[in-house]
Amino acid sequence: MRALIGGGTGFVGRHLTKALQENGYKVTKVSRKTGPDTITWKDINKNGIPDDVTAVVNLAGANILNPLKRWNQAYKDEVVSSRVETTKTLANAIVSSKIPPKVFATISGVAIYKPNPTLEYTEDSDVEPYDFLSQLVVDWEQAAKLPESHSCRQVTVRSGVVLGRDGGMIQQLYFPFYLGLGGTIGLRGDQWLPWIHVSDLAGIFMHAINNDNVHGLLNGTAESATNADFTKAFAGALCRPAIFPTPGFVMNIVFGSERAKVVLEGQNVKPRRTLESGYQYKYFDVKSACKNCVS
């Protein structure tokens, strides 16, 4: 069995690669660069998908919260094309392949749900784009769509903020929190923080790949938590105080208001279909997830 992973070199991709290999899969990554067990996007455009591939996953995407990147039109275009064009490339290659894979699983984001302090969202909630990031998610999910009659099963995981020691938000927060300089984002930290542990995100992809009855949208989130709940759990796991909030205006200056929203506002996203499909979480509560991230 072989799986092909777009963006397999990244934080989530590394965890999914390990999980796939533990389940007996050979893994080929699709990257912008050549490397071991890696083919490039150009190779896919030229030669299509290797015949022995049974599962295709796309996790590619330029990091939205990269503080070193200015939020200008060029970077926004890269943020969009690194997700939408890579997903389209894989979808087109699946449609053209002589022996199609059994499953095409893609990632997207919870930014499709409009931040709201009281609403609870599930995979069945109506969604309508309301800003740049929600429009991006709509286009990203649309890019993954195969013709209805196609034999390849499709799954899209709408991921919350991914927690894990070796990447994503925790990697950025680890040292400030370790030094006792951590705190909530925004003064109160009462905005929702839809989150998932990276083992569970990889686990949901494995569950989607291995189970023929899993299809369609799955929310990749765990138990609801606010930014303050996360801050308390993470600082607690490190046995440190967390008394230095980062005010919203600082986030707006560093990131620009359009993307600072990702952490200054939040959605309460329930993984209803994920649970109904039989997935069992390793880390459903934020305390145990944060404890694992510092162990």
Residues interacting with ligand NDP, by CB under 6 A? 7, 9-13, 31-33, 59-63, 78, 82-83, 86, 107, 109, 159, 161-162, 167-169
In the complex, minimum distance from the CB of residue 109 to ligand NDP, in angstroms, rounded to a whole number: 4
Nearer of residues 12 and 289 to ligand NDP, judged by Cβ: 12
Nearer of residues 68 and 239 to ligand NDP, judged by Cβ: 68
In the complex, minimum distance from the CB of residue 243 to ligand NDP, in angstroms, rounded to a whole number: 25
CA distance 98 to 50: 10
Nearer of residues 25 and 205 to ligand NDP, judged by Cβ: 205
Nearer of residues 243 and 282 to ligand NDP, judged by Cβ: 282
C-beta nearest to ligand NDP: residue: 10
Tokens of 5: 């992973």
- Inter-CA distances, 197 with 146, 184, 250, Å: 29, 19, 27
In the complex, minimum distance from the CB of residue 173 to ligand NDP, in angstroms, rounded to a whole number: 12
In the complex, minimum distance from the CB of residue 121 to ligand NDP, in angstroms, rounded to a whole number: 15
Nearer of residues 69 and 180 to ligand NDP, judged by Cβ: 69
In the complex, minimum distance from the CB of residue 192 to ligand NDP, in angstroms, rounded to a whole number: 14
Q: How many CB atoms lie within 10 A of CB 73?
A: 7
Nearer of residues 156 and 246 to ligand NDP, judged by Cβ: 156
First-to-last alpha carbon distance for the chain, in angstroms, is 33
Query: Could you identify the residue written with the tokens 């279909």?
Result: 273
In the complex, minimum distance from the CB of residue 83 to ligand NDP, in angstroms, rounded to a whole number: 6
